[in-house]
Amino acid sequence: MTKLSVNINKIATLRNARGGNVPDLLKVAKDIQNFGGQGITIHPRPDERHIRYQDARDLKAIVTTEYNIEGNPQHNFIDLVLECKPDQVTLVPDAIGAVTSSAGWDTIKNQAYLTEVIQEFQRNGIRTSIFVDPVLEIIEGAKKTGTDRIELYTEAFAHQYDLGNKNGIDPYVKAAELANELSLGINAGHDLSLDNIQFFKQNIPGLLEVSIGHALISEALYLGLDNVVNMYLNKLK
């Protein structure tokens, strides 16, 4: 079964919009785990517009499943991850001020930099994952950095699926097959939803984990958080 890690950035966005502590981010993280969620993901950004650095610290004592921190490995982010020591760190090449992730790493151009950062995290017992597009040369480059896993950036798949083009899965299948050959673990995320998650999971060999936030929280507004978490779990079996 592919694991479901729930990204709770949108819960923090809602909290910050009003001030105070409603909704309570820590309680939501506990509840998601109680509902069956197998991990909690956060993506703190430098401006702390949703997840705050203190949230990352506070969640360390709350997450009993798998704790995944995503972000661009700049100095403050690296320091935060080394302080919190999550189970996994996912490296994402976000520009400062980016609304959301929009591309994976060029693992060839940034090979030396990524290798150095990954070695630092691995020395501290933190599993590493690199956010990548489904491009075979990029997957090969990821292997050379020494990363434990890749996270496939799935926006293009989700867009094509919405258009009715199921062939949009093809580059991801090829990328996953190569990753398996290279003994790279496979995660995936971005724009995965209840509509497309089952098709994606059924076609990606060796898919270990998906990280889902925006769609899952949006769906929960209508269907309820407990119900939606379990709907995803059923589709990921």
Respond yes or no: is residue 43 known to be catalytic.
yes
- Which residue out of 66, 70, 209, 219 is catalytically annotated? 70
Among 137, 155, 177, 190, which one carries the catalytic annotation? 190
Contacts 24+ apart (CB under 8 A), 9-15: 9/42, 9/43, 9/50, 9/51, 9/213, 9/214, 10/50, 10/213, 10/214, 10/217, 10/218, 11/217, 12/42, 12/50, 12/51, 12/52, 12/55, 13/49, 13/50
Is residue 45 marked as binding?
yes
CB 137 within 8 A of CB 120: no
Element (H, E) at 199: helix 197-203
- Map tokens 């017992």 to a residue: 125
Query: 75: annotated binding-site residue?
Result: no
Q: Any known ligand binding at 7? A: yes
CB 49 within 8 A of CB 57: no
214 a known binding residue?
A: yes
Tell me which of 43, 66, 151, 209 is the catalytic residue: 43
Annotated binding residue at 2? no
Q: Any binding-site annotation on 145? A: no
159 is an annotated ligand-binding site residue:
no
Q: Is 190 a catalytic residue?
A: yes
Annotated binding site for 1-deoxy-D-xylulose 5-phosphate: 45, 50, 100
Annotated binding site: 7, 18, 45, 50, 100, 191, 213-214
| Catalytic (active-site) positions | 43, 70, 190
Annotated binding site for 3-amino-2-oxopropyl phosphate: 7, 18, 191, 213-214
